[in-house]
Every structure is written in C-alpha cells, then in structure tokens.
Amino acid sequence: MVLDDMIEFRRRMGPFVISEIWFSEDVHDVEDVKAVQFKNSSFSGDKEGFLKEISTTLVLDLTKSIDDIWNGMNKDCRRQINKAQKDNIIVRFNERFDEFYRMNQDFRTRRRLPAAFISPEEMRKNYFLATYESDGKLMGGHLSIKDGLRIRQLYSCNMKDLESGISKSAYGQGNRLAIWEMIKSLKKEGLVEFDFGGYATGKLGEELKGINEFKLSFGGTVCEKFSYYKSYSRSFNAGKSLYLGAISAKEKTKAFTSRWNEKRRSQEQEKKCPS
C-alpha cells in the first residue's frame, strides 16, 4: 500500500508479521509488528536500535529537462535507442506480467542467479513493469518498485540466450529503448529519481564491469543508499539473518517458516525426551 511518499508491505513470516518499508524519509518504530526494515530510505543518519546498511547505486535526476537527460547519455547509447525506434521495437508498460514472470524465472535459471518469487499477481498490485518486443515477440523487460517520487529497478531479464530469430544486437537496442521510454514516462508523472538498482564496487565491480558501464551510459550519479533494520522479538532474532539475506517476500517467508518449524519440532522433541 502507498503511504504518502513511501510504500509499506506487511509480510507474514511464520507466526510473525514484518513491516517492509520503501522510500521513507525517516526511520521510526512501527507498531504491531515483530520487525521492521526500511529500504532505500532518504534518511542517512544513525538511529538508536536500528542496524544500518549502506549500498552503492546509480541514480538519474529526473528533474533535469528531457533534453539535458538525453544529451547526458553517451553517444553510443543514443545511437542504439534511435536504431531500436527505426526497427519498430515496441515498449509496453504494465502488460505481459505472466510472460515476464516466466521469462525472468528462465533467465535466472540460465544465468545461475537466485530465483525470484514475486508473482504476476503481486507485480500487478505493487510494481512497475516495462517490456520490449519485436513483431509481438517478447524480448526482455524491467521490473521496478516506485512511489510518487522515485523508482528503483529490481529485476531485468531478456531472451537473448535463446534462439528467438532476433539478432543479438537488437536486444541491447531494445533494452536501452525500454529504459529511455521509462525515463520519459516517469518524468511526465512527476517522479524525481530513477535508481538503476545498484552499482557494483570493489572486486564485484570488476566482475560486473559491463553492467556498470551499461548503467553509466545513461548518465546519472553514483551515490549511496541506506537501509535500516530493527527487531522487536527475541524469537524472531534467531531467523533475522535469513530475512535480511532473502531476495523476495516468498523466499523470506519460506526460509523463516522452515527455521521456525524446525525450532518448534526440536522443542517438542525435548519435551518428549527430557534429559
């Protein structure tokens, strides 16, 4: 649900209810939950009782004029966008959710990436989807989370690895066109920030150099984002590492519930067989 300029999800982890909040301008206690996590908060200070996590990402300022944004992109990026438009690659917003879900699952399996469990139904309710296609054939897409001011990319995938009858170069062109169309549309909506969903640094930055360079080709600024976590339950603390490390609501639920059930079985066994 949307609350002013932030988004809150209430997640059930076994017997516990967890609050997950995106884009908050402040970090604060939340009632009637066992733990709270603030993601991509614009608050950057320290908060007593909260664990703080700093990550690096690339952000594009959407308050700039559309001409300034276009001219801030590198020449090759603009050229590929123009080529995609000439080749009639089509970008769609908030359509083809089921197809994107299957494509993303297959893509992550092929690339040996962690699975994504955001269902098509969940996507329709809380997320923004941009897909690109050629002659009706789905090529790829981007799933993001947004409020009235900011958007952050979460998952990107394509069918480049498969025999689709579409040239490899067309995928890169369509990918860039999709992001460009997102930028234009979201700027018209009044959003002020486009977050590319992370920028790898250190050793990982060397391994993901190509992805970093792709994001940098759109301009933008490398900056830090802040997340915060607090637990109100000693029982929940036992599984908080699973919660924080999980990549999706469904994985969090599955991992935590499994841990909780294992603990309960152990306790029941101890009652049956006292030492």
Domains detected in the chain? 2-56+225-272 (no CATH), 64-191 (3.40.630.30)
CA 209 to chain centre: 19
Closest CA to 28 of 7, 1, 54, 47: 47
User: Mean pLDDT, to the nearest integer, of 190-200?
Assistant: 96
Residues of the chain above pLDDT 90, percent: 69
- Bridge partners, residue 92, by sequence: 131
Cα(273)–Cα(268) distance, integer angstroms: 9
**Contact at 8 Å (CB) between 158 and 139?**
yes
Q: How far is CA 234 from CA 16, 19, 35, 263, in A?
A: 12, 16, 10, 13
At residue 275, the pLDDT reads: 43
pLDDT for 28 beyond 50: yes
Q: What local confidence, expressed as pLDDT, does residue 264 receive?
A: 58
Mean of all residue pLDDT scores within the chain:
87
Determine the average pLDDT of the residues in 85-101: 97
Using alpha carbons, list the distances in angstroms from residue 5 to 67, 144, 180.
Answer: 27, 16, 24
SS3 261: helix
Task: State the pLDDT confidence band at 6, using cuts at 50, 70 and 90.
Answer: confident
pLDDT of residue 248: 45
Q: CB within 8 A of 193, min separation 6: which ones? A: 59, 60, 61, 62, 149, 150, 151
Give pLDDT tens digits for 219-263.
999 999 999 999 998 877 766 655 555 534 444 445 445 555 565
Q: Which residue has the higher pLDDT, 1 or 13?
A: 13
Encoded tokens for 3: 């609350």
Please compute the mean of the pLDDT values over residues 177-192 and round it to a whole number: 97
Contact between residue 157 and residue 30 where contact means Cβ atoms under 8 Å apart? no
- Token pair for 109: 């399996």
What pLDDT score was predicted for residue 238?
A: 67
Question: Could you tell me which residues are beta bridge partners of residue 35?
Answer: 18, 231
Each residue of 149-172: pLDDT tens digit?
999 999 999 999 887 789 999 999
Helix (H, G, I), strand (E, B), or coil: what is residue 27? coil
Q: How far apart are CA 2 and CA 148, in angstroms?
A: 9
The β-bridge partners of 143 are 129, 155
Joined together, the tokens standing for residue 115 give 């699975």
User: Do 100 and 138 contact (CB within 8 A), yes or no?
Assistant: yes
CA count, 13 A, side-chain hemisphere, 74: 8
Q: Residues in the chain, how many?
A: 275
DSSP state, residue 115: P
CA-based angle 127:128:132, to the nearest 5?
140
